[in-house]
A and B are shown apart, each in its own frame.
Chain A
Amino acid sequence: MSFALTLDFVLRQDDFVLEMHEQVADRAVALYGRSGAGKTMVLDTVAGLRRPHRGRIQAGDHVLFDSKAHVDLPARHRRVGYVPQDVTLFPHMDVRRNVMYGAGRSTSNMLAHVLDLLDLEPFLDRRVGQLSGGERQRVAIARALMAAPDLLLLDEPLSALDVELRARVLPYLVRVRDDLRVPMLYVSHHADEVRAIADWVIHLERGRVTAAGPAEKVLAAAAGTGGLDSPG
């Protein structure tokens, strides 16, 4: 069963213009590009935290924004799970309350599954401040998943982790993709991560899409034109 993600909008912030006209059928999509390219802005816009000037954003059958039809769903109704770059776990709540924050009723089955998927069972009663970087990342993913989103947004989930941790957490992301089959929009500037997670890659440079297509093709082209594998 295919999934359609429509990212067709224009957004202006000061001198920066972000413009996309993409229609994607794959479930695991990556936004690839240097920092400053506007990748986080795209995620904020899809999540409903920023409003584009015009355009249309649709995830599956769910229209999130349509300037012509005057549709602009507030963030809380978009059913979009967001794992931000700075993690942003609620510091005054323990892991359990963080994870359960967006969960509706009758989710106990799902909880067990998600905790198992991300190996979080032993951490449930810990305070957020007591967790390592990798653990926090997993809690953030679990929290987003427990809200039963139609689309999962991940903003450089592994960039704050060292090489070893990155290698440890990446499999969890793959698990989430394969096991729960939640469509993903994954932001990263690391080619190997993108290769591992995404089927479709959108290359973003200074607010514009310079390439979009199957992962290998786009990554090869990017490597050829000067490589984004370099950090930052």
Chain B
Amino acid sequence: MGRSTRRSALPGFGLTMGMTILWLGLVVLIPLSALVIRAAGMGWDAFAEVGLSPRALAAYRLSFGAALAAAAVNSVFGLLIAWILVRYEFPGKKLIDAAVDLPFALPTAVAGIALVALYSDNGWVGSLLAPLGIKVAYTPLGVTIALVFIGLPFIVRSVQPVLADLGRDVEEAAATLGATRAQTFHRVILPAIAPALLTGFALAFARGVGEYGSIIFIAGNAPFKSEIAPLLIITQLEQFDYDGATAIACVMLVLSFALLLFVNLLQAWRAKRGTR
């Protein structure tokens, strides 16, 4: 903050910092370490028996695969929505802009039952797809649909501010140099927003991997086929297999922290590049 004095003249640092550390420790750090300590005390064989069992591997594959597919779909449509919100004027624009955050605000269980009602064979959308032989509800496709709903705002809200800050002058320069609109988009606009798009992608992906409420209703929850990793944790808990639940949770935690680290590195890199 470019200040000559490093010490602040304001009081309350000790009190507020103490509260922050205490709260953080009690609510977040100690409970999370309970998970890690329990997993560490299990021994590798017990850990791998459940955590890396074929059923668990199938569940990770579904959770990660569907989250990846949904984030990819959202990268295209989220970018498109961010684009029309920033660049064009049309009736209902403010409403649309506000509505993009609906998945953040709507409880996941509500989204879950609404989606399965829409996409089951006699639902509004499912009944149109059924004659075409497309089954959505109770299949991995249903899981992906739920994650598209959940992930959309992450992409739009990551890309939107960067797109708004992007000066029109570079595009005009590209045009003056003879670039077509498509070339300008590919060579000028896309590289400029790529880091933001990637951040949004990673955030949507990370959220999708751990998502539970919006999925369990529309997923068939059949082992090896349509059972997501968070559901498998619940199944273990219902059988009072705490160790099994811990092992699966630990695998997921490690993978999502790796993702978080990636997002942070990406943001640090963006800050360095000065493109926000």
Q: Are A and B part of the same complex? A: no
Which positions in B face A, CB cutoff 8 Å?
none
Which positions in A face B, CB cutoff 8 Å?
none
